[in-house]
Amino acid sequence: MPADNELSAILSRRNERNDALDSGQDVKPRFVKTSIYTDFTDFTRKEIKEFEEKFKLYNISGSGSISLSELKMMMEKLGAPQTHLGLKSMLQDADEDKDGAISFREFLTIFRKARAGELDIESGLGQLAQLSEVDVDQVGVNGAKTFFEAKIAQVHKGSRFEEEMKEEKKERIRMEQEQRERTQAFKDRAKIFSS
């Protein structure tokens, strides 16, 4: 009956929101959709794509969020099976929007907290972060082990994202240029045969 409890919690939140709207209160959305890349600047684009692949691997239903049963299977595959209560606790700790599942944004938040040293290593979420090959001791806080390195890294976060975008754009332009050259070479050869 856990699904019934989750459904009743979702319906209860919707009723509260509808009541607030009916009474004329200004209700703001829980989460404003923004880019994952701008919200998680402490990860590179490559890291986010790797996390996304891991997330998709364990999101067997394809629903876009990891349910309790998928979380159970994920922890078993990672070699750290949890009790039902442990799984519920993990889900409760990670589920920021209280929808009963872990979205990709919440999944990334787990690793952000692990990298910042905010997770208990012995907790289920701490084990998840450790088993998913994110070594907090090696990476340090925000990718730096000392205070001054952390400050410098903070300044360069925005430029790192811009650099990655520029590199991707250069690669795209290079590929388009190669395609144009191949097309022109093909046309030149075709002229020989049509003459």
Q: Which residues contact 69 (CB under 8 A, 6 or more apart)?
A: none
pLDDT at 136: 39
pLDDT at 27: 64
Number of Cβ within 10 Å of residue 132's Cβ equals: 17
Mean pLDDT value of segment 160-188? 88
Mean pLDDT value of segment 117-141? 63
Could you tell me the pTM of the whole model? 0.51
Mean pLDDT value of segment 93-101? 85
Q: What is the CATH number of domain 36-139?
A: 1.10.238.10
Tokens of 192: 């020989």
pLDDT at 96: 86
Report the mean per-residue pLDDT for the chain: 77
CA distance linking residue 159 with residue 4, whole number of Å: 47
Does an H or E element contain 95, and which?
none
Query: Of the ranges 8-17, 22-31, 117-126, which is most confident?
Result: 8-17
Tens digits of per-residue pLDDT, 43-53?
Answer: 888 888 888 88
pLDDT-derived band at 172, boundaries 50, 70, 90: very high
> Is 14's pLDDT higher than 50?
yes
Tens digits of per-residue pLDDT, 54-64?
Answer: 888 888 888 88
**DSSP at 141:** B
Higher pLDDT, 17 or 58: 58
Chain centroid to CA 117: 18
pLDDT at 137: 43
> Is 149's pLDDT higher than 70?
no
pLDDT at 147: 46
Does an H or E element contain 26, and which?
none
